[in-house]
Structure 1
Amino acid sequence: MSAAMDFEQAGELKIGQVGIANLRVRTLDVARLAAEMRERVERAPRLFARAAVILDFGGLPATPDAATARSLIEALRGAGVLPVALAWGSSDNEALAVELGLPLLAKFRAQYEPVAGATETAARPAPPPRQAAEPPPAPPPARAVSAPGLVQAAPVRSGQQLYAENRDLTVLSQVGAGAEVIADGSIHIYGPLRGRALAGAQGNATARIFCRAFHAELVAVAGHYKVLEDIPKELHGKPVQVWLENEELKIAALD
């Protein structure tokens, strides 16, 4: 009897906070990993061709040796992407990074350039401490307070990146091709979305993306992504919502 087919991906690719890709390696089958990455590049060259990739060996039972890691790096370069760092892991992983001459990254996020038209509620200064001879009474249990959302009035143009940390993001205009909007919460776009939108950037799987006209190069929720080529053509240009359900990214038209 023939062996059972293995349909699990050799590498689980997720998109990080600034469009940088984190490749969690699940097998050291270098040829298989390279073939998967080459297919991704061919399907969406504008997104993945010469894209920076962080290699994450945390999904393996043991850290690979330097020779195997170098072979994988060269194969991925041949597939069209550029491995630039290793994800933080064990002490063995740190030693491997040193031997390869690559940095270790625990978290990665760019310092985003300011985008004209972004407004937010200013934080109130903390009151001065009370001068009291006796210890103050215990405060009541704290209630969770949502940070005010970031509102962007002007268009987000090509090459710009807008990030709403620990809150939702609302864009009152369009997100142009080559632009990137990111939020730790949900994203609401009241115009066309032609660039990238990444909601739940810190792993919030309940975040959603809403837009009036869907032409996105890429959408992602909690790292799970789809590119325009993955979206049914009947949704192109339509109002849609994007959400995560059972670890699968869903996209549907808004009624």
Structure 2
Amino acid sequence: MAKAQGATVASFEPAGELRIGQVGIANLRVRTLDIDRLAAEMRDRVQRAPKLFARGAVVVDFGGLPALPDVATARALLDALREAGALPVALAWGSSENEQLAIELGLPLLAKFRAQYEPAGGAQAAEAAPAASPAERSRAAEAAPATSGRTGPAPAEAAALARGGEPGLMQASAVRSGQQVYAENRDLTVLAAVGAGAEVIADGSIHIYGALRGRALAGAQGNAKARIFCREFHAELVAIAGHYKVLEDLPADLRGKPVQVWLDGDQLKIAALD
């Protein structure tokens, strides 16, 4: 009898535990539908930073094109990207036609990546995107690009005010290889080191009081005013609002020094802290 009861209890336990988490996925915004050129650029990225991009998950976004490619052309692009060493895993959200293309390609749609490129509240975006939750609208407001002549707080600042000045996330222990820490809608402060193969992500700025040997991605929802600060710079990759540099692109004279990283227009800047 005891054995039968044990079997009954065990049958209620799931065979797999499914959770929704934050993942750092590269987003490829296609601006020129030249398959050979796109594949060559991806192959170059993989060769320059194989630990980051070899077999790396990529979301393909056709929103930069005047028209969607047909299924055969899109499939040829996905095959070329796979041959170059990347793994296309989804399409970025667009229109109903884009959704149909994703279905025919056997890929899911991910909505969040489009928010980093398109202004919130545009007519086309309103027609293309599904109804957003309050949290999604807040994130979209943070992602909207700056406009000249605007008065009042920036979208990210307005969202922070609406949240009542939500405090940043503090990580006291080291972030080890394979681990990821994500600060949603706030800054991230790491009091220890970020190890090689580890990843820290924040929608705001990132402050690291130990060595940065892994990856740091600030302004993850498109906040171009976010910054990265660290006491000892050995990063595999740093990124702000999607603009990134890998180890091979980083100034050798800054390695091991205290630095800050910020965006100047579309240029990622890195400089030593005084």
TM-score by length of 1: 0.78
Name 1:192's counterpart in structure 2: 211
* Preserved CA contact (<8 Å) 1:146 1:167: no
Contact kept, 8 Å, 1:51 with 1:81, in 2: the verdict is yes
**Pairwise mapping of residues 172-251 of structure 1 onto structure 2 (< 5 A)?**
172-251=191-270
Looking at structure 2, the residues matched to 143 and 20 of structure 1 have their Cα atoms a distance apart, in angstroms, of 28
Taking the TM superposition and a 5 Å limit, the aligned residue runs for 1:43-82 are: 43-82=48-87
5 Å-filtered alignment, 1:136-151, equals: 145-151=164-170
Give the superposed CA RMSD. 1.3
> Alpha-carbon deviations, 1:56-109, whole Å to 9, x = none?
00000000000000110110001000001111101111111111111111127x
Q: Structure 2: which amino acid aligns with 1:106?
A: A
Q: How many residues align?
A: 206
Aligned-partner Cα distance in 2 for 1:105–1:148: 28
Match of 1:93 in 2: 98
Shift of 1:18: 2.9
Give the aligned partner of residue 89 of structure 2.
84
Question: What amino acid maps onto 1:223 in structure 2?
Answer: G
2-structure distance, mates of 1:252, 1:160: 27
Is the partner of 1:26 in helix, strand or coil? Answer: coil
The answer to whether the 8 A contact 1:206-1:243 is kept is yes
Deviation of 1:202 (Å): 1.1
- CA drift at 1:143: 7.1
C-alpha distance after superposition, 1:146-183 (max 9, x if no partner): 21111111100111110111111111100001111111
Give 1:19 deviation, angstroms.
Answer: 2.4
1:37 alignment partner, one of 35, 39, 42:
42
For residues 165-224 of structure 1, what are the alpha-carbon distances to aligned partners after superposition, in whole Å with 9 as ceiling and x for unaligned?
A: 111111110000111111111100000000110111111111100001111111011111
How far apart in 2 are the matches of 1:144 and 1:58?
Answer: 31
Determine the C-alpha separation between the residues in 2 that align with 1:186 and 1:153. 17
User: TM-score, length-normalised on structure 2?
Assistant: 0.73
* 2:61 aligned partner, one-letter code: D
Q: Secondary structure at the match of 2:27?
A: strand
% identical aligned pairs: 80
Query: CA shift at 1:52, angstroms?
Result: 0.5
Per-residue deviation, 1:144: 6.7
**1:145 Cα deviation after fit:** 2.8
Q: Comparing both chains, which one has the higher relative contact order based on Cα–Cα distances under 8 Å and sequence gaps of 6 or more?
A: 1
* Counterpart code for 2:251: P
